[in-house]
Amino acid sequence: MTKTAVVFSPKYLCHKTGHRHPETPSRLRVIMRELNKSGILGNEGCSLVEPEIVSINDLKRVHDIDYIQRIKQFCRCGGGLLDREDTMVSPESYDVARLAAGGTVKAVDLVMAGKCRNAFAFVRPPGHHAGPNYPMGFCVFNNVAVAAAHLLEKFSLDRVLILDVDAHHGNGTQDIFYRSGRVLYVSLHEDPIEFPLTGFADEVGEDDGLGYTVNVPLPYGTDDRIYLRAFNEIAVPIINQYKPQFILVSTGFDNHYADPVGNLSLSALSYVKIFDAVLESASKFCQGKLVAVLEGGYSLRFLGKLACAVTAKMAEIPYVIHDRHRGAGVKIRKKGEKTIEQVKKIQSSFWKTS
C-alpha cells in the first residue's frame, strides 16, 4: 500500500487569474517541481493520482445550486472578477474549480478505501473562503467542505475534524458547518480585523454546532513559539477529546515569514510540528486517515519546500529543509499569550485545554 497519495492534475494550471495576481498557476508549478526534484514523488511511499471532476450532487451538499449555475455561466461568458475584491476567474475556471473539489473527494475516497494511508490534494483554486452562495478571497468552491460533507453523507461519519492552518480564517468553512455538531472546525489564523472579518475567539458555533467551532486569532507577526504554544495548548487537547474519525487539514502555507500575503511569521518548523501532532492524532483515533488540502501560500521561493516538508512527513520520507527562523518582538509575544488565555477561557465551557 502506498503510504501517501499526491492528488494533482496539470489542468489545475488552466485556472487563470491574470497578471500579477498572487494566486497564480506557478504556485502549483513550484510545488510539483520540488516534489519531483526531491525524489519524494518517485519514492515508493508516495504516488501521484489524477483527480476526477466533482459531481453536482457532491457540490450541492455545500453550495446552493443557483450559486453553482452562476459560476458556470460567469465563466462560460469569459470570466473576470467574481466579487468586488480579488477573486478572478477565466473561462476554464468552472471546470477547474470542479476538478479541485473533485480532487479532495478523490483523496478522501482513496483513504477511506484503504488504497493509501493519507493524501495531499494539491488543488487550485483554493476553497476555504467560499461559502454556500458566495466566492471570496480567491476561492470559488469550498474544496475541504465538499470533502467533509462527502464523508458525512457517503460514509455516515459523525466526527470529522477540519483543522485550518492557513494564515487566514476559513470563513466559508465555518459558515457551512456553523450549526453542525458532526464537523469540528479548528482554525488558527492571523487577527481577522482586516480580512475576512470573521474568526474571532467568541465565534463558537450555534445550535447543534455550539462548541464545534474553535477560533484562535493570533496577532500579526506571531512566530513559531507563540503559534506552537497555541496549537499545543488549545488545538491538540481539543482534537484528542473529540476523537475524530477523519482529519482534514486546510493547509495554507501563507503563515510563512516570507509570504507576501499572510501577516504571520512562522518558519517551516511550525508546519513540521503541526503535522507531527496531527498525524499522531490520526493514527491514535482513525487509523491514520488524514487528507491535507492546499489553501493559500504565495511565496514562490518557499512554497515548494514547505509542501515537500509536509508531504515527506506524511509519507515518512526523510526531507531536510533549511529555513531561517525570525522571532517576533516581545510585544507581539505578550499579545499572543493574552489571546491564548482568552481563547482558553471561552473554550472552557466546551473543552479542556492544557
Q: Does 252 bind Zn ion (CB under 5 A)?
A: yes
CB 259, min distance to Zn ion, A: 9
**Which CB, 34 or 164, lies closer to Zn ion?**
164
Q: Counting contacts by CB under 5 A, is residue 199 touching Zn ion?
A: no
Question: Should residue 82 be labelled a site residue for Zn ion when binding is judged by CB under 5 A?
Answer: no
State in angstroms the smallest separation of the CB of 129 from Zn ion: 8
Q: Which stretch binds Zn ion (CB under 5 A): 167-175, 208-216, 220-228, 303-311?
A: 167-175
- Residue (of 308, 321, 340) closest to 225 by Cα position: 340
Q: Which amino acid does the sequence have at 77?
A: C
| For Zn ion, the closer CB: 192 or 296 | 296
Coil/strand/helix, residue 68: helix
At position 14, the amino acid (one-letter code) is C
Nine cell digits for residue 250: 486546510
Smallest gap from residue 104 Cβ to Zn ion (A):
17
Nearer to Zn ion, 79 or 192 (CB): 192
Cα(13)–Cα(96) distance, integer angstroms: 8
CB of 166 to Zn ion, least distance (A): 4
Kindly tell me which of 40 and 123 has the beta carbon lying closer to Zn ion. 123
Those residues with Cβ within 8 angstroms of residue 319's Cβ, 6 or more apart along the chain or in another chain: 38, 40, 308, 309, 312, 313
Q: Which one of 53-61, 91-99, 246-254, 314-322 is the stretch in contact with Zn ion (CB under 5 A)? A: 246-254
Q: Extract long-range pairs of 183-186: CB within 8 Å, 24+ residues apart.
A: 183/148, 183/152, 183/209, 183/212, 184/159, 184/160, 184/212, 184/213, 184/214, 184/238, 184/239, 184/242, 184/244, 185/212, 185/213, 185/214, 186/161, 186/162, 186/214, 186/216, 186/235, 186/238, 186/239
- The residue nearest Zn ion at its CB is 296
* Residue 93 Cβ vs Zn ion, minimum distance, rounded to whole Å: 19
Q: How many residues bind Zn ion (CB under 5 A)?
A: 6
- 296 makes contact with Zn ion (CB under 5 A): yes
Cα–Cα distance between 124 and 138 in angstroms, integer? 9
Q: Is 166 in the site for Zn ion (CB under 5 A)?
A: yes
Asked if residue 170 binds Zn ion (CB under 5 A), the reply is no
**Identity of the residue, 74 or 253, whose beta carbon is nearer to Zn ion in the bound complex:** 253
Does 168 interact with Zn ion (rule: CB under 5 A)?
yes
Residues catalogued as catalytic: 129
CB nearer to Zn ion: pick between 103 and 296: 296
165 scored as a contact of Zn ion (CB under 5 A): no
DSSP type of residue 352: -
Closest distance to Zn ion from the beta carbon of 195 (Å): 9
Binding mask of the shown chain, residues 254 to 293, with x at each position contacting Zn ion by CB under 5 A: x---------------------------------------
Q: Which residue has the cell 489564523?
A: 189
Is residue 167 at the binding interface for Zn ion, with CB under 5 A as the rule? Answer: yes
**Under 8 Å CB-to-CB from 150, ≥6 apart: which residues?**
58, 61, 105, 108, 109
Segment lying near Zn ion (by CB under 5 A), choices 98-106, 253-261, 270-278, 313-321: 253-261
Pairing between β-strand 246-251 and β-strand 213-218 as defined by DSSP bridges: unpaired
Asked if 83 contacts 134 with a C-beta cutoff of 8 angstroms, the reply is yes
Range in contact with Zn ion (rule: CB under 5 A) among 192-200, 250-258, 307-315, 341-349: 250-258
C-alpha cell at 293: 488540502
Q: How far is the CB of 168 from Zn ion (least distance, A)?
A: 4
Q: Which is nearer to Zn ion, 196 or 288 (CB)?
A: 196
d(CA 330, CA 100): 41
CA–CA dist 14, 12 (Å, integer): 5
Cis peptide before 196 (omega within 30 of 0): yes
- Judged by the rule CB under 5 A, the positions of this chain that interact with Zn ion are 166-168, 252, 254, 296
